[in-house]
Amino acid sequence: METPPIIELRGIAKYFGDTCALYNINLEIANGEFLTLLGPSGCGKTSILRLISGFERPSKGDLLLNGRIINNTPPERRQVNTVFQSYALFPHMNVWDNVAFGLKMQRRPKGEISRRVAEVLRRVHLDALADRMPRQLSGGQQQRVAIARAIINNPLVLLLDEPFSALDFKLRKQMQFEIKHLQRQLGITFVFVTHDQEEAFAMSDRVVVMNEGEIRQIGTSQQIYEEPENLFVARFVGDINVLDAVITTLGENGICMADVEGVEFPLHVRREYEPGETVNVLLRPEDLKIHLEHEKSVESPFFLGRIEETVYKGATVDILLTLDNGKRLQAVEFFNEDDAEISYRPGDRVTVTWVAGWEVILTAESE
Ligand code: ATP
């Protein structure tokens, strides 16, 4: 990173009594970045937010804001604001007063308050609704009030803890675009928490995948999806087929041969493997190529198998198949202009191979 990080967690651990919520977390967040903490319930995402906001203190390690250690700095002196799941709006105040509240508490001059509230309401497209009470707003509008309130003090960092959890599917998607757009306009660093992988991918510059108090991978959405560093990440971010393989010959130019589920395949590898080493071959459903067995244009090598089930999804068809050795795989068929019919039926015999180079190879014990 060229400019110093706006936030840095150095060797942070957090204990609640005997429970260790975070182990040795090291993380640098760049100024202006949209960073998402992604992971299952209880993995420690909210604990990281609460440390950054100052509602909790680290048990070990240092937390830095703009290069300064802030372990003991109280929340109100951090220039960090949080948007909570519940939005926490004042029900008896209209939108304007909700947004103006913090500035009034600071006893800012009236003219300044009016100017700043008007400006921030315009930014979140709520200027026409300034007189409404929270109960007269949709979920998405309430959310924008909460954001307006959080950005009115020009924080360096905005923390968002599952802010869409109360919204329905369609509104969630719309808000994802809006928040991402708003973040770009404002240039403020956003740290966003979610357990929803699609949401994380849709919004973030970088995603931090966590499990059981540890960071399992940090990367762009594409890196996390296409180059998972371990089985936990691979499985958490979408469907994945995990094939068992044994390296048979040490290859050249990044390719070695392996026995994959009983069939000899060339594998594209990132490092050298010894013959006899056991590995996992990871393939996303869209990496697999399927042909009906009687079709002649099949590349070799290939597996033989049988279609078990097809599930129509609109733009795609999910395919469940079983290889002749009993291994179950998930594949997907995309419709295109020439071929708008489902190509396979349960019971069809098929050959299965994959797009060369799209496989990810991990040592078998990396989970
Ligand atoms: P969720 O998605 O369910 O909100 P999370 O990933 O945000 O989960 P945290 O809330 O950070 O997870 O919790 C991490 C661990 O720390 C959990 O085991 C939780 O039970 C524990 N924990 C969090 N806060 C406290 C607390 N105040 N006292 C005791 N244990 C806590």
pLDDT value, residue 172: 83
Q: Per-residue pLDDT tens for 232-276?
A: 999 999 999 999 999 998 877 789 999 999 999 999 998 888 899
Rounded Cα gap, residues 261 and 240, in angstroms: 16
Whether the pLDDT of residue 1 is over 70: the answer is no
CA angle 72, 76, 189 (to 5 degrees): 95
Q: Per-residue pLDDT tens for 177-203?
A: 888 888 988 889 999 999 999 999 999
Whether the pLDDT of residue 366 is over 60: the answer is no
Q: Which amino acid is present at 277?
A: E
Whether the pLDDT of residue 84 is over 90: the answer is no
Does some domain include residue 273?
Answer: yes
Nearest CA to ligand 1 atom 20: 42
Rounded Cα gap, residues 241 and 329, in angstroms: 6
Q: Per-residue pLDDT tens for 122-143?
A: 988 888 999 999 999 988 888 8
Rounded distance from Cα 207 to ligand 1 centre (Å): 20
* CA Rg value for the chain: 25
Q: Is the CB of 44 under 6 A from ligand 1?
A: yes
Per-residue burial over 109-131, b = 16 or more CB atoms within 10 Å of its CB, e = otherwise: eeeebeebbeebbebbebeebbe
pLDDT value, residue 85: 73
153 shares its domain with 206 = yes
Structural domain count, the chain: 2
230 shares its domain with 245 = no
pLDDT value, residue 334: 85
Does some domain include residue 2?
Answer: no
Whether the pLDDT of residue 51 is over 60: the answer is yes
Q: Can you read off the two tokens belonging to residue 332?
A: 């997907």
226 shares its domain with 260 = no
- Whether the Cβ atoms of residue 316 and residue 288 lie closer than 8 Å to each other: no
Closest CA to 329 of 357, 363, 312, 354: 354
93 shares its domain with 227 = yes
Rounded distance from Cα 44 to ligand 1 centre (Å): 6
Q: Domain range holding 289?
A: 241-363
Candidate of 15, 16, 37, 49 to mutate for ligand 1, largest count of ligand atoms within 8 Å of Cβ: 16
Q: Where do the DSSP E strands lie in 114-230? A: 157-161, 189-194, 206-211, 214-219
83 shares its domain with 209 = yes
Atom of ligand 1 nearest to the CA of 195: 2
pLDDT value, residue 2: 62
Q: Is the CB of 25 under 6 A from ligand 1?
A: no
- Whether the Cβ atoms of residue 98 and residue 89 lie closer than 8 Å to each other: yes
Q: Is the CB of 42 under 6 A from ligand 1?
A: yes
Dihedral over Cα of 325, 326, 330, 336: its sign: positive
pLDDT value, residue 365: 67
Rounded Cα gap, residues 21 and 17, in angstroms: 10
State the CATH number of the domain containing residue 109: 3.40.50.300
Question: Between 169-186 and 139-151, two packed helices, what is the crossing angle to 10 degrees?
Answer: 20
Rounded Cα gap, residues 235 and 305, in angstroms: 23
Q: Can you read off the two tokens belonging to residue 220?
A: 């762009």
